Amino acid sequence: MSAIQSFVGLRSVASKSENAFTARRAVSASSRSSLQVVATKKVIKKVKVVLTKNLENVGESGDLCTVPMGFFRNFLLPQGLATWATEGVLEEIKAKDASDEAARQAVKAKAQMLATALTTIGKFTVKKTVGDDKKKLFGSVTAADVVEAVKLQTDQDLDTRTIEMDDQIREVGTYAIVVKLHPEVLAKFSLIVIGVRS
């Protein structure tokens, strides 16, 4: 008589023709509690890193950024583009930010002092050659002429790109000039154009 095979779980158990020990083991295995898997929502893990090089759409060198863990582990770290944001690195960033802020404040204070000096003086003169009518200039007054006039009276160098003036100055007269010394500091003064016969 052949044995009839029955399957319990992953084990095959023979009927009574097999020994009683294996049959008992199979029955006890089937009565055990089974493993239950509960699906959880996907968790997006992000880490704080410090960039060592400039990256487009991520940040500049020295910035503290929050990036996905996989992006950091698979791309930024092997390429040497970022490091872990440890306590020591964060302290260095804070110290660097403080020194940068102090430098920005010093530049702004210097620009404010120069603006005060230019506003206090108030009037700068430029001499240009005029025609027979003593009103029209030969040529025009440019930003370079304004910079030269300021340099003669104050010994301060200005950048010609920072000077905002009306269109071309082609006649004798008084004109308002604005100098942008800093993104937050403007200096205003008058420019007197004097005609000179050659």
Residue-wise pLDDT tens digits, 51-79: 988 888 888 888 889 999 899 999 999 99
Q: What is the pLDDT of residues 98-108, one digit of tens each?
A: 999 999 999 99
Tell me how far apart the alpha carbons of residues 54 and 75 are, in angstroms, rounded to a whole number.
Answer: 14
Mean pLDDT of the chain: 83
Q: In the β-sheet with 163-164, what is the strand arrangement from edge to edge?
A: 123-129, 185-196, 173-182, 163-164
Q: Is 164 helix (H, G, I), strand (E, B) or coil?
A: strand
**Mean pLDDT of the 180-198 span:** 90
pLDDT recorded at residue 107: 94
Strand 82-84: give its sheet, edge to edge: 64-68, 46-51, 82-84
pTM, rounded to two decimals: 0.59
Per-residue pLDDT, 1: 47
Give yes or no for residue 20 having a pLDDT over 70. no
Q: Give per-residue pLDDT as tens, 83-120.
A: 998 888 888 888 988 999 999 999 999 999 999 999 99
